[in-house]
Structure 1
């Protein structure tokens, strides 16, 4: 794919499969495809360097600084740049939407502390908090998930503002370090 692609760790928390998928995706590939003219052909890709691992938790959460370090070490071990997205839902929130802001705050703290390996987050969000089942004859609540439980829009805004503030802080610290080095030179 000619776009950034994330590979989630296994539901057991295993990082190896996701790390190896990132490494494989970066390599050239050849595969059967349909041409723009509607004919079968062989497509050739140069590989996708814009891939990353998504930490979604497993048997235990894996969003904390120690887990980010372990994932980065595994990626470096196989020669892959440590680019991590953190899923603040799923096993990282114990599948409880109300825990997502706490997870996001921890991630924001890591970003504000200068961790540049964290490139993004995934949030389960909708207009209305929670989730609902599809029941024949019963109208759905507009803006409420029918799959995973979500945080509501107001909570999402608060979480996003916190993350944006962390990124701004990280950037200002990086700028100050660069300016300091340039001034010393």
Structure 2
């Protein structure tokens, strides 16, 4: 398969039937070239290392703080993302005794059918699909957020993306659409950070448990190295994968009985029972105002002493709701994908979750 040259020569060199008018090639920068242009700084490296350690300890229960992964559904405006990061960093410091806050910096957007696919693949938001520019924008944004001292979370969608971005990520997710994918389970097995496996889009927690078991094992699969060459990647397995309960269409799964059942499935599989609950997506019916209600119900379980709930996910941005892509007068800090909680609602929810964590700490201390 050709990797460079114009389209006509690419078509001419490909085996009959391979291109068929359906594929076009575009030479992209290698991971080594991008990382050479935008290297990991000492400050960012310290932030990532500390973030990975914190998320591991919170998920294992060695740190009794609640892990909170919060931020925009997806980043479409770098300046708005940085403004959000600055405010979140300040809040993370204020609530740091009780919450381990990680910012969502999601630069790929999985779609049920079609739609804008994220900053990494379509940074101009116009279908021009300049992935080279998107890679640089995504890495630059993540570097700046990490240098603020904020740990970063992202969803892994493209199997090639970690070669460009994984050194900046403290927590990763495999989404409901891809949790059954062998490719993504193999990918998670070699990632150097904790990875949350969301329940399947039908609501099945069992597929997430299977994904954890698979990702904990060694794998060998086709990937790319820093020079962009195809190589066999051999992994040792990722011991820090865990379930994320995100509900499904019309079927939330954040209540106490759902947590107990997920913990039972994990225990039967001889896996740790700690898990994360996503207050958005199916658990809120994609209603950004309902997210706060769901988060407070989760907080009530935490306050009552539930120790299996180790983390909460939230979708929040500067301005509540969502706007249509390509608006004539776009609203700064408002999502163009799923509707998000606004900043004021986010602050209130995080303060409540911090209080719930303090009550759990007190409750569990009396039972020791």
Give yes or no for TM over 0.5: yes
Which residue pairs with 1:181 in the alignment?
none
1:150 paired with 2:150, answer no
Correspondence 1:20-35 to 2 at 5 A: 20-35=210-225
Residue of 256, 272, 290 corresponding to 1:65: 256
1:163-174 mapped onto 2 (5 Å cutoff): 163-174=353-364
TM-score, normalising length: structure 2: 0.46
Q: Helix, strand or coil for the counterpart of 1:82?
A: coil
Aligned pairs (5 A) from 1:1-185: 1-36=191-226, 39-58=229-248, 59-135=250-326, 138-178=328-368
Q: In 1, Cα distance between the equivalents of 2:286 and 2:361? A: 32
Contact kept in structure 1, 2:245 and 2:277, CA below 8 Å: yes
Normalization by structure 1: what TM-score? Answer: 0.88
Distance 2:344 2:240 in 1: 31
Secondary structure in 2 aligned to 1:52? strand
SS in structure 1 at match of 2:321: strand
Residue 39 of structure 1 deviates from its aligned partner by 4.8
What is the CA distance between 1:36 and its match in structure 2?
A: 4.4
C-alpha distance after superposition, 1:134-170 (max 9, x if no partner): 136x021001000001110010001001111111221
Q: Measure, in 1, the Cα distance between the counterparts of 2:226 and 2:332.
A: 39
2: CA distance between counterparts of 1:93 and 1:140?
Answer: 26
Count of residues in correspondence between the two structures: 177
- How large is the RMSD of aligned CA atoms in angstroms? 1.6
> In 2 relative to 1, CA 109–43 (structure 1 residues): closer, same or farther, beyond 3 Å?
same
More strand by share: 1
What is the alpha-carbon distance in structure 2 between the residues aligned to residue 73 and residue 152 of structure 1? 35
Q: Distance in 2 between matches of 1:72 and 1:86?
A: 12
